[in-house]
């Protein structure tokens, strides 16, 4: 299939990850993470993040988020998150399931971004023992609407959470895109700002399928390790999850690929500004463009073979760019949209 804008997980494996996989495919290695590749990948991640965190790997983001949250929360606890959070709308209740009953307290400020006031307002137990106790704050960086928290915004959110004795978990499925966009150190938007656990995404940035969980609060890691096993997420052939991380982190390919995806989103957004019928739904700060389009134009693009999803209502579509999105694909998409919008008598029918 040609490059699409449906999701950054539609892209293949980047060359750096592929080469590292091949290099790891030699001889025998101990199972369950007791191998040189897993050790080296953990060391490289600690070096990149400039701190001595505990690093674990799982197969996907739902497991990373829900098991990290389950390591923080008891069954009687609650997790504060944005209403658009992946853990709220796209994980089939996994945080509650994995924790044995933790609930989500959602709030809905603009641009899919939480604010300290919203967190403080949500982190309450209005009915004493009848209410779950807020124990975790979950932040998504970059957010589900392709926006980004600055280091100061994250620090303020972490302060608000810690003041209520809550821990902070970050869904970093697109953390690399946020780092590339801000041009900051990875530490600046994670532990240095107060994040306790980071679920660092690899799958959407050119890995075969793996997320790393970084425990800056090392005390949470032991509980996580057992929950990972219980949940069927402990890979026995761990070296093949770990090696691609080494491939993309050594030499900085993870940020190069994220920066490319971001630049394709900016190119796309820039072109869309020329169409009065296209209305951006959020600032384009990472690798996603969220834009409201006339229904007829959406249908015309589908008819031309483009894949993408409605995300906000029926006509607010999500266009995701990946590490390998070619400029030519962006330009062809824009040309097809221009043709669809120019069809006489059609662009008023939305």
| Min CB(153)–ligand PLP separation in Å | 17
Nearer to ligand PLP, 32 or 309 (CB): 309
| Min CB(142)–ligand PLP separation in Å | 8
Q: Contact at 8 Å (CB) between 50 and 187?
A: yes
Nearer to ligand PLP, 9 or 115 (CB): 9
User: How far, in Å, CA of 173 to CA of 208, rounded?
Assistant: 14
In the block, tokens 């608000």 appear at 160
Peptide bond into 151 cis (omega under 30): no
Q: Please state, as a whole number, how many other Cβ atoms lie within 10 Å of the Cβ of residue 313.
A: 9
Q: Among residues 86, 166, 154, 155, which one has the least CA distance to residue 123?
A: 166
Nearer to ligand PLP, 6 or 29 (CB): 6
Nearer to ligand PLP, 1 or 92 (CB): 92
Site residues for ligand PLP per CB under 6 A: 60-62, 86, 140, 144, 171, 173, 203-204
User: How far, in Å, CA of 323 to CA of 241, rounded?
Assistant: 19
| Min CB(211)–ligand PLP separation in Å | 7
Residue nearest to ligand PLP according to CB distances in the complex: 61
Nearer to ligand PLP, 116 or 209 (CB): 209
Query: How many helices (H) does the chain have, and how many strands (E)?
Result: 13, 11
| Min CB(285)–ligand PLP separation in Å | 14
| Min CB(63)–ligand PLP separation in Å | 7
Count the alpha carbons within 13 Å of 135 in the hemisphere toward its beta carbon: 19
Q: Contact at 8 Å (CB) between 271 and 330?
A: yes
């Amino acid at each position: 299939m040609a490059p699409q804008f449906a999701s950054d997980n539609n892209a293949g494996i980047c060359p750096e990850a592929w080469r590292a996989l091949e290099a790891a495919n030699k001889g025998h290695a101990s199972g369950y993470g007791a191998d040189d590749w897993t050790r080296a990948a953990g060391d490289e991640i600690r070096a990149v993040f400039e701190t001595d965190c505990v690093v674990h790997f799982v197969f996907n983001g739902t497991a990373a988020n829900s098991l990290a949250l389950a390591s923080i929360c008891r069954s009687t606890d609650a997790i504060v998150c944005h209403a658009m959070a992946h853990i709220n709308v796209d994980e089939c209740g996994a945080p509650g399931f994995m924790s044995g009953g933790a609930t989500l307290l959602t709030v809905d400020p603009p641009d899919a971004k939480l604010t300290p006031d919203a967190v403080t307002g949500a982190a309450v137990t209005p009915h004493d023992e009848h209410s779950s106790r807020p124990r975790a704050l979950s932040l998504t960086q970059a957010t589900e609407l392709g926006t980004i928290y600055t280091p100061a915004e994250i620090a303020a959110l972490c302060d608000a959470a810690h003041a209520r004795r809550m821990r902070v978990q970050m869904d970093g499925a697109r953390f690399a895109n946020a780092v590339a966009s801000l041009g900051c150190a990875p530490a600046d938007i994670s532990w240095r700002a107060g994040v306790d656990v980071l679920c660092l995404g690899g799958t959407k940035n050119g890995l075969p399928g793996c997320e790393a969980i970084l425990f800056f609060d090392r005390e949470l890691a032991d509980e996580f390790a057992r929950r990972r096993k219980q949940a069927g997420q402990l890979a026995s052939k761990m070296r093949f999850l770990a090696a691609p991380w080494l491939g993309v982190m050594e030499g900085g390919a993870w940020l190069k690929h994220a920066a490319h995806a971001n630049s394709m989103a900016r190119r796309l957004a820039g072109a869309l500004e020329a169409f009065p019928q296209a209305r951006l739904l959020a600032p384009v700060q990472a690798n996603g463009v969220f834009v409201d389009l006339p229904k007829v134009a959406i249908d015309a693009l589908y008819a031309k073979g483009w894949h993408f999803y409605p995300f906000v209502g029926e006509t607010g579509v999500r266009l995701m760019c990946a590490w390998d999105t070619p400029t030519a694909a962006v330009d062809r998409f824009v040309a097809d949209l221009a043709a669809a919008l120019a069809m006489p008598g059609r662009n008023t029918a939305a």
